[in-house]
Chain A
């Protein structure tokens, strides 16, 4: 019961037409199945379809069947089942942190091997911070595409009302705490406006990783089989996050919902928020007050994890298909395309040379906040990712939430998470 989409039928027909019309006896036309997720608002599928059509115009012998595969999670699930049933896609965009999952399932191919020696300059052209989630076992498994980082958004009107400089974001942890204290407005037992919100539902580890990085800690090794949750720097970072709510009371206590944080910001329930750069377009459209975007504040250093999705190439495909897939990925990540994609979606353009294109320069001149994410990349680190990634991540999330809800002390919560994660990761340390 294989479904044939209209696209596929049209694509197939077009490819046949090309094949019949071509006089030279080239190899048969190549058809690529390409899974991509949609994780932000906006007409993402239309943008992808447009780019694919442009690619096909330039590569008459290749047809790309772009399949919108749902959320990131759907995409990984769909790709893995396709691998197990023997019909994997040729390429897909999936979470950069799913790299180890794909490797453990023996599902993907390293880019450096397919691209050969000529590919090195191309792969070296990406921001190193984004490539950090692409390397394992000495190979390059993913190519950055729709990537993001965490930034701080602040309400300039609220800053002015609290007697703060509306154009100056907090640069350090102490400053953020101090600002937040001035911005927190109480009315009786209730709080009319919080100083800051750092979301903690769903994937608190990601935002927490901002704090640990700033405090000089890393959470895992590059092999993805060891984690360092119980290091003093990590405990300090969690203590700070917990204290913002419980001790200094400048942030709501308990779990702060990721999805409603921007709404809280628009409703003036919080004067500052930490969230993804992917929210830039959303905030720009909906904030009823002037706002600023800044790098996350520093403790020992600046820092933020990266996030988002990479291209992956799948096994069980023919050499011709691999080369065609590689050509497509290379075409999608040229400086011009990377810039176009970043401008249209709000993702961070993944290559330094994309930022020097005329289109991007114009965009940044009109909207300087867009460049904050780029500037922060200098300080960014790999997003937390290990073998058995979902499970280990969940262990850390549970520990963080236990501390934030007052169930455990930060040190205890992280020690427990460490021993749980050690148990899960032990099998991956043998080889």
Chain B
């Protein structure tokens, strides 16, 4: 075998199995989704017909879609900063010597390991009006019971609280890793110059954590569009779509209404959103690679 050809063959052969699966289940469906979104949904004897941008026009006029999009933005803006702030706080708290540090770390991290589906079932019980944990605790403070998941105003915040609880520990890990890579001498030097701890955090630690924060931020944002298990268990998007998120809407349109063409159009929009987020991540990865 000519030596020029050999790496070509070896390279592609090694890549082949993964490439086939990626093409079949990532690249092809992405393209096919975009194409399907331009056709009507086939039903019974009627086949799919090319309808141009009709599905997108339907989307623009669909109040549920706009509600889902709005909810998802609220959900992202509500959960991501809170989860990140808590994660950072947790990391700072357990980075130092601390009585029972292992237990504390464990407590923070455990929710991350559990399936969202099981967690959601448990939290569903907490939010039960009257005798759920939340209402029982509020009773001790003399507050009346509240229909947490059954009211438009509280359903999304309730889901957000649970999501923050579940995710903060996960992001804490990344901060812990980053903190361990900061040489202690930096802080010590600043302390010698009489800087307060808050100043050290603000001027030294936090800037050094910036890449981690960016990484966590992008991942948290992607998660807020990708994870809807809790909606299926707790609210099914209700009441009156007050907790409808985009991916759950795709699921409902695609697998309850069996309107696959409209679901494809919704998926395209969701993919565009995720792509925009991920491009940010790419740029960030690029920078890290250059730094090395």
Q: Which residues of chain A have a CB within 8 Å of any CB of chain B?
A: 73, 77, 80, 101, 104-107, 188-191, 200-202, 252-257, 260, 263-264, 267, 269, 388, 390-391, 394, 397-399, 401-402, 404-407
The answer, among A77, A200, A260, for a CB contact under 8 Å with B128, is A260
Other than A188-B142, A394-B257, A407-B240, give 4 A-B pairs with Cβ distance below 8 A.
A191-B144, A255-B239, A267-B131, A404-B239
Q: What is the CA–CA distance of A407 and B142 in the complex, to the nearest angstrom?
A: 28
The answer, among B43, B139, B151, B242, for a CB contact under 8 Å with A105, is B43
**Please, which residues of chain B bring their CB within 8 A of the CB of A201?**
150, 235-236, 238-239
Given A106-B45, A201-B150, A405 contacting B129 (CB threshold 8 A): no
Q: What is the CA–CA distance of A244 and B179 in the complex, to the nearest angstrom?
A: 57
Q: What is the CA–CA distance of A77 and B43 in the complex, to the nearest angstrom?
A: 14
- Select from chain A the residue with minimum beta-carbon distance to B259: A391
In the complex, what's the smallest C-beta–C-beta distance from A184 to chain B, in angstroms? 13
In the complex, what's the smallest C-beta–C-beta distance from A412 to chain B, in angstroms? 12
- Select from chain A the residue with minimum beta-carbon distance to B152: A405
**Please, which residues of chain B bring their CB within 8 A of the CB of A200?**
150, 239
- Select from chain A the residue with minimum beta-carbon distance to B257: A391
Main secondary structure of the interface of B (DSSP, over half): loop
Given A106-B45, A190-B139, A201-B238, A256 contacting B150 (CB threshold 8 A): yes
Q: What is the CA–CA distance of A255 and B242 in the complex, to the nearest angstrom?
A: 12
Contact B45 A401 (CB under 8 A): no
**Please, which residues of chain B bring their CB within 8 A of the CB of A254?**
147, 150-151, 239
Contact B256 A73 (CB under 8 A): yes
- Interface assignment of B184: CB less than 8 Å from any CB of chain A: no
**Please, which residues of chain A bring their CB within 8 A of the CB of B147?**
252-256
CB<8 Å pairs between A and B, sample of 25: A80-B258, A104-B44, A106-B45, A107-B44, A188-B142, A188-B144, A190-B139, A190-B144, A200-B239, A201-B239, A202-B236, A254-B150, A254-B239, A255-B147, A255-B151, A260-B128, A269-B131, A388-B257, A390-B256, A390-B257, A398-B238, A399-B240, A404-B239, A405-B150, A405-B240
Q: What is the CA–CA distance of A202 and B233 in the complex, to the nearest angstrom?
A: 11
Given A106-B44, A189-B144, A404-B239, A255 contacting B149 (CB threshold 8 A): yes
Contact B129 A252 (CB under 8 A): yes
- Select from chain A the residue with minimum beta-carbon distance to B242: A405
Q: What is the CA–CA distance of A189 and B240 in the complex, to the nearest angstrom?
A: 27
**Please, which residues of chain B bring their CB within 8 A of the CB of A252?**
129, 147, 150
- Interface assignment of B28: CB less than 8 Å from any CB of chain A: no
- Interface assignment of B145: CB less than 8 Å from any CB of chain A: yes
Q: What is the CA–CA distance of A80 and B260 in the complex, to the nearest angstrom?
A: 13
What count of chain B residues pass the 8 Å CB interface test?
A: 30
Q: What is the CA–CA distance of A201 and B147 in the complex, to the nearest angstrom?
A: 12
Q: What is the CA–CA distance of A404 and B150 in the complex, to the nearest angstrom?
A: 9
Given A190-B139, A257-B149, A390-B257, A398 contacting B128 (CB threshold 8 A): no
In the complex, what's the smallest C-beta–C-beta distance from B76 to chain A, in angstroms? 23
Most buried by B among A188, A390, A391, A405: A405
Given A190-B144, A405-B240, A77 contacting B255 (CB threshold 8 A): yes
Residues from 133 to 192 in B contacting A, C-beta threshold 8 Å: 139, 142, 144-145, 147, 149-152
In the complex, what's the smallest C-beta–C-beta distance from A117 to chain B, in angstroms? 29
In the complex, what's the smallest C-beta–C-beta distance from B66 to chain A, in angstroms? 13
- Select from chain A the residue with minimum beta-carbon distance to B253: A391
- Interface assignment of B241: CB less than 8 Å from any CB of chain A: yes
Q: What is the CA–CA distance of A68 and B150 in the complex, to the nearest angstrom?
A: 33
Q: What is the CA–CA distance of A41 and B43 in the complex, to the nearest angstrom?
A: 34
**Please, which residues of chain A bring their CB within 8 A of the CB of B255?**
77
- Interface assignment of B130: CB less than 8 Å from any CB of chain A: yes
Q: What is the CA–CA distance of A287 and B13 in the complex, to the nearest angstrom?
A: 66
**Please, which residues of chain B bring their CB within 8 A of the CB of A263?**
128
Q: What is the CA–CA distance of A191 and B135 in the complex, to the nearest angstrom?
A: 12
Q: What is the CA–CA distance of A130 and B238 in the complex, to the nearest angstrom?
A: 30
Contact B258 A257 (CB under 8 A): no
Q: What is the CA–CA distance of A253 and B151 in the complex, to the nearest angstrom?
A: 8
Residues from 239 to 292 in B contacting A, C-beta threshold 8 Å: 239-242, 252, 255-259
Most buried by B among A201, A254, A257: A254
Q: What is the CA–CA distance of A399 and B238 in the complex, to the nearest angstrom?
A: 11
Q: What is the CA–CA distance of A77 and B254 in the complex, to the nearest angstrom?
A: 11
**Please, which residues of chain A bring their CB within 8 A of the CB of B139?**
190
In the complex, what's the smallest C-beta–C-beta distance from B213 to chain A, in angstroms? 37
Contact A401 B128 (CB under 8 A): no
Q: What is the CA–CA distance of A254 and B258 in the complex, to the nearest angstrom?
A: 30
**Please, which residues of chain A bring their CB within 8 A of the CB of B145?**
190-191
**Please, which residues of chain A bring their CB within 8 A of the CB of B142?**
188
In the complex, what's the smallest C-beta–C-beta distance from B131 to chain A, in angstroms? 6
In the complex, what's the smallest C-beta–C-beta distance from B158 to chain A, in angstroms? 12
In the complex, what's the smallest C-beta–C-beta distance from A403 to chain B, in angstroms? 9
**Please, which residues of chain B bring their CB within 8 A of the CB of A190?**
139, 144-145
**Please, which residues of chain B bring their CB within 8 A of the CB of A397?**
238
In the complex, what's the smallest C-beta–C-beta distance from B256 to chain A, in angstroms? 5
The answer, among A80, A388, A401, for a CB contact under 8 Å with B239, is A401
Q: What is the CA–CA distance of A420 and B43 in the complex, to the nearest angstrom?
A: 21
Q: What is the CA–CA distance of A202 and B238 in the complex, to the nearest angstrom?
A: 8
Q: What is the CA–CA distance of A188 and B141 in the complex, to the nearest angstrom?
A: 13
